Structure 1
């Protein structure tokens, strides 16, 4: 009897494990995920407890197609509860059978033992589909929850327009002509070449030449210097990442085929089912992935890193006049900041990132406005987002001359839950581990800042550009860009 009862229990456990392993392997196979892919730990409880809050949040963020997901999750949760109750009933019946079998064995009731054994085997057969259904319902809740954007900060305007919250430097003393176009300036000073780049790579690509190439490196070095002075540790990240890492970070464009460069398999003998690799649109993706599947110590937080990288955006050529010049391009150099913090301390990291951004733009002499971005402008992962826009004379006919040059976002635990990044022994927590909050922001996006420097520093009379003083140490002794002095 003891042998039989152990066999029954083990069979039920093995069956449960097989169902879960089959479900997990099925999901990984369908998504081409490697075995090292982070396991997501999305908390569905707040969603099924208040589905209307999450539906409203989707609508406010312009994710209308996802607004019915919270209700589906609530319905799935009710079905899941029914399955759990049914499984509990089977468990209670199994325990009762074991007791009856023990008694029958003790008293030598062979006929009753045979009858109970048959019932136990039937119980095992009936249990398998119930457990598979329970596993599917649980994982379907998590899958749908992953499609929902983050909740939205109370600081975020619920509208389509941003709210001004500050400025950097005074506006120009006199109105600057829109003839101060960096494309024209780049041609006059032999700094930019879009024509040859179009022949080489296509529209939306460019060559930086002469002082413009030096300016790129100067901006990178200066941004790294300021970030490191604010406590950021320098990291050089890869430019290629698994697509599932990008998705976990919240990069879920409405039309991925037109916005992300995926790397095709070109070798005939290469595994066609291998995970998809993509060119990173921002260093935020590999920097966030750097701590995937890791457990951080709360004493080490905030952990703040800054990294230069090349970034790739496939959608650059789809904006007509907006895409001319350096403002919207397919490939560019950017210095990105990223931080992990304990929940409740994210504002310190956020303000540190904003301080770096303000310092860089203020010392470059650019006139900027600081904006609290509206809910409709937030991506999947952002809980709150602040953009800084610089004044471009060439854009005075579009958006009154303003153009985004930096962005900073708080993502709460959206990314860490999807990347399985944990923090150990967080203060004030009774749990052994929890999920840290992540914060990210641009230190400098080189092409746009370079364009702003060219346009705002242009001296039409002398046909030269004044180089910001803070960049002189990296400009080989040059203080101006003047073709006549070469």
Structure 2
């Protein structure tokens, strides 16, 4: 959430940022609400000062025996109190209108975020690994997994509907192996591991920016009191909602495995075959809380953590920077990691690592104190990144490690997690 004062004092900067994000920013509406809110506050403060002065005069008038004047002053105080009651309602309504407006406005891109209209203008930062050249006719993971008895899409549809997956045998074991490998790796590299609820309340979803803007993309209970999380970023970030952290404890580094649930309304026809875009999937997430001056260095190291997982698995990938037109709602800067998938003959997103500045912290009221450097409290900066999306990682392993005889070689780092299995063969 943007700071109203910042928006008021930097109208051109905000207008340019929203234009670069392709967001229909109505500056006149903001100004109208802001002026109304400030006018109410000014009137309230003036009346409160008048009431306080008049209240003090009542005692003096009574002491001087001026009873009639004192009663007249009391009547004026009562009238002022009634007016203040009306203004309190107007103040609350003005605050709510401003809050509603700002809750729908995306974050301002960081100065290092490239300006661009959409995903076609995301610059590439670097590549790692070389895509494999096959000397046989390779298979897509949805065919390979079916042939090996790892994936059963038909029974998943019978159980739940389209865009769900049922993993069996070595498919289930590989999924579990990847989860444990990722979680153990992050935990061994300075991230505190958490086990989070999959259902959270509306306030929690609002804190990270999923609500109110993305309501249609969320699964929820019938009374809308609880929502299934689309990512562990939601509960992990909100662990400290409403809290004041200590500067000496920052940065905090958290990780968690969760199931993730996404309605993804409007995405029909895009990557709906196989494991790329599902309504339910597994993911290991990383979240950080950092001082503002350290946040973007933490973003670089966060991205490196996700890259480390891909490097350990030996999967070719590239890193791109999202331009302003492709940036997520809460993010100020984002790196996407894209893994090579032979079935697409292209790179596909497998991790998104973002710095949100104080955007989420304002919504969730997460601050920190640093008495050696400033008085009071300030908002922390939050960061999040996939480390990694498990289903997409499985798809990449299956396709990149497949053999001519239809088997799949297990990456060396996963063999201990697979109970010593080195090759996945037909059941």
Residue 367 (structure 2) aligns with? 422
Residue 210 (structure 1) aligns with? 169
2:356 to 399, 407, 411: 411
Determine if contact 2:104/2:213 at 8 Å carries over to the other structure.
Answer: no
Q: Shift in Å at residue 233 of structure 1? A: 1.0
- C-alpha separation between the residues in 2 aligned to 1:156 and 1:386? 10
Determine if contact 1:166/1:371 at 8 Å carries over to the other structure.
Answer: yes
Q: Which has the higher mean CA deviation after the structures are superposed, 145-154 or 418-427?
A: 418-427
Residue 378 (structure 1) aligns with? 327
Q: Shift in Å at residue 115 of structure 1? A: 2.7
Q: Shift in Å at residue 99 of structure 1? A: 5.0
Q: Shift in Å at residue 428 of structure 1? A: 2.3
Determine if contact 1:240/1:277 at 8 Å carries over to the other structure.
Answer: yes
1:171 to 115, 124, 131: 131
1:355 to 304, 312, 327: 304
Q: Shift in Å at residue 293 of structure 1? A: 2.0
1:262 counterpart = 2:217 = no
3-state DSSP of counterpart to 2:343: helix
1:112 counterpart = 2:69 = yes
Compared CA separation, residues 363 and 141, structure 1 to 2 (3 A): same
2:378 to 434, 437, 462: 434
Residue 147 (structure 2) aligns with? 188
1:290 counterpart = 2:239 = yes
3-state DSSP of counterpart to 1:138: helix
1:91 to 48, 60, 63: 48
2:23 to 45, 50, 63: 63
- C-alpha separation between the residues in 2 aligned to 1:176 and 1:415? 49
- C-alpha separation between the residues in 2 aligned to 1:364 and 1:99? 76
5 Å-filtered alignment, 1:265-414, equals: 265=223, 276-315=225-264, 318-320=267-269, 322-396=271-345, 401-414=346-359
Q: Any stretches of 5+ residues in structure 1 without a counterpart? A: 1-40, 266-274
- C-alpha separation between the residues in 2 aligned to 1:326 and 1:395? 13
Output the aligned Cα RMSD: 2.2
Residue 34 (structure 2) aligns with? 77
- C-alpha separation between the residues in 2 aligned to 1:99 and 1:111? 16
Determine if contact 1:90/1:123 at 8 Å carries over to the other structure.
Answer: yes
- C-alpha separation between the residues in 2 aligned to 1:385 and 1:85? 41
Compared CA separation, residues 314 and 91, structure 1 to 2 (3 A): closer
Compared CA separation, residues 120 and 341, structure 1 to 2 (3 A): same
Determine if contact 1:157/1:372 at 8 Å carries over to the other structure.
Answer: yes
Q: Any stretches of 5+ residues in structure 2 without a counterpart? A: none
Q: Shift in Å at residue 324 of structure 1? A: 0.5
Residue 444 (structure 1) aligns with? 388
2:87 to 124, 130, 149: 130
Determine if contact 1:346/1:410 at 8 Å carries over to the other structure.
Answer: yes
- C-alpha separation between the residues in 2 aligned to 1:195 and 1:253? 35
- TM-score with structure 1 setting the length: 0.82
Q: Shift in Å at residue 74 of structure 1? A: 2.4
Determine if contact 1:231/1:304 at 8 Å carries over to the other structure.
Answer: yes
1:478 counterpart = 2:427 = no
3-state DSSP of counterpart to 1:418: helix
- C-alpha separation between the residues in 1 aligned to 2:101 and 2:371? 29
Determine if contact 1:178/1:394 at 8 Å carries over to the other structure.
Answer: no
- C-alpha separation between the residues in 2 aligned to 1:186 and 1:96? 80
3-state DSSP of counterpart to 1:441: strand
Residue 29 (structure 1) aligns with? none
- C-alpha separation between the residues in 2 aligned to 1:158 and 1:446? 31
Determine if contact 2:182/2:387 at 8 Å carries over to the other structure.
Answer: yes
Residue 162 (structure 1) aligns with? 122
- C-alpha separation between the residues in 1 aligned to 2:326 and 2:189? 28
2:411 to 450, 460, 468: 468
Q: Which has the higher mean CA deviation after the structures are superposed, 234-243 or 248-257?
A: 248-257
Determine if contact 2:361/2:379 at 8 Å carries over to the other structure.
Answer: yes
- Paired residues, what number? 424
Q: Deviations over 1:289-322 (max 9, x none)?
A: 2111222221111111111111111128943262
Residue 43 (structure 1) aligns with? 3
Q: Shift in Å at residue 47 of structure 1? A: 1.0
1:219 counterpart = 2:162 = no
